[in-house]
Amino acid sequence: MNAEREYISEAITPDPGTADTFAMARGLAGLPSGFTWRGQHYKLGSILKQWKCSEPEGHRQGAERYYRKHYFQVRVDSGQTMTLYVVRHTKSGEPPKRRWWLFTIDQPER
Q: Which string of DSSP letters, residue by residue, matches 39-105?
A: TEEEEEEEEEEEEEEEEEGGG-TTSPEEEEEEEEEEEETTS-EEEEEEESSPPTT--GGGGEEEEEE
Predicted confidence (pLDDT) at residue 11 exceeds the cutoff of 80? yes
Please give the average per-residue pLDDT across 45-52, as a whole number: 93
More confident residue, 47 or 59: 47
Single pTM value for the model: 0.78
Domain count, the chain: 1
Range of the domain at 42: 3-108
| Distance between CA atoms of residues 23 and 12, nearest Å | 20
- pLDDT at position 96: 52
pLDDT digits (tens, 9 = 90+) for 56-101: 666 667 767 666 789 999 999 999 999 999 987 655 565 554 689 9
pLDDT at 21: 87
